[in-house]
């Protein structure tokens, strides 16, 4: 008995092997290029908090461009800052109470936060000042920051006397958040 000379079965077999190799290489590429985050892991919770913190600063920064916004612009808080800062254990600067209220309304419940203003003085010394301090951040804290540029006509007397006309000046607003 003789076998048929039809070679289409071999082609289908080779096609199946090539397709499986392509699928395996795509799967390997995807697994190595991204870190996979399962929805219930601690890292995904931290990422969500990081996004919320960043969105809070963006909303506060964007509010000066939107006439419908209910929040005062972040730049106006920084410009009106009197240079006083808060020392631990807890506290909010008196002229930052409304900023504290705005941030608190944007972040989820059970989240504590600190807000720092970071800037360089005239001798190029980095200065980090707490303006809102709600406690010591935990191990799973996230930090989001935003850079705000102050011009001379926007700034308060603190900025004008500190920098004596050296404007524009950049202030980093650092928001550190963590769950209770």
Q: Where are the domains of the chain?
A: 41-179
Alpha-carbon distance 178 to 176, whole Å? 7
Q: Is the pTM of this model over 0.75?
A: no
Q: Quick one: tokens of 163?
A: 């920098």
Alpha-carbon distance 170 to 167, whole Å? 9
**What are the CA-CA distances from residue 7 to residues 3, 14, 19, 21, 131 (Å)?**
11, 11, 19, 22, 78
Coil, strand or helix at 122? coil
pLDDT tens, the chain, 180 aa long: 566 666 667 788 889 999 999 999 998 887 776 655 656 666 777 888 888 999 888 888 875 555 555 556 788 888 877 777 776 666 777 778 888 888 888 888 889 999 998 988 778 888 888 888 888 888 888 999 999 887 777 666 677 666 665 667 788 999 999 988
CB atoms within 10 A of CB 77: 23
């Amino acid at each position: 008995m003789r076998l048929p000379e039809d070679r289409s079965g071999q082609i289908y077999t080779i096609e199946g092997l090539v397709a499986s190799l392509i699928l395996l290489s795509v799967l390997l590429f995807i697994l190595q290029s991204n870190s996979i985050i399962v929805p219930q892991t601690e890292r995904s919770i931290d990422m969500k908090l990081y996004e919320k913190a960043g969105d809070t600063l963006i909303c506060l920064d964007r509010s000066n461009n939107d006439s419908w916004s209910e929040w005062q612009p972040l730049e106006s808080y920084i410009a009106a800052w009197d240079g006083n800062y808060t020392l631990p254990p807890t506290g909010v600067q008196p002229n930052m109470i409304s900023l504290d209220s705005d941030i608190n309304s944007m972040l989820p419940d059970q989240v504590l936060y600190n807000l720092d203003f970071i800037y360089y003085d005239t001798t190029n010394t980095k200065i980090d000042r707490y303006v809102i301090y709600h406690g010591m951040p935990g191990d799973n804290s996230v930090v989001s920051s935003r850079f705000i540029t102050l011009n001379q006509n926007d700034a308060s007397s603190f900025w004008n006397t500190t920098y004596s006309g050296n404007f524009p000046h950049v202030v980093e607003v650092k928001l550190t958040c963590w769950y209770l």
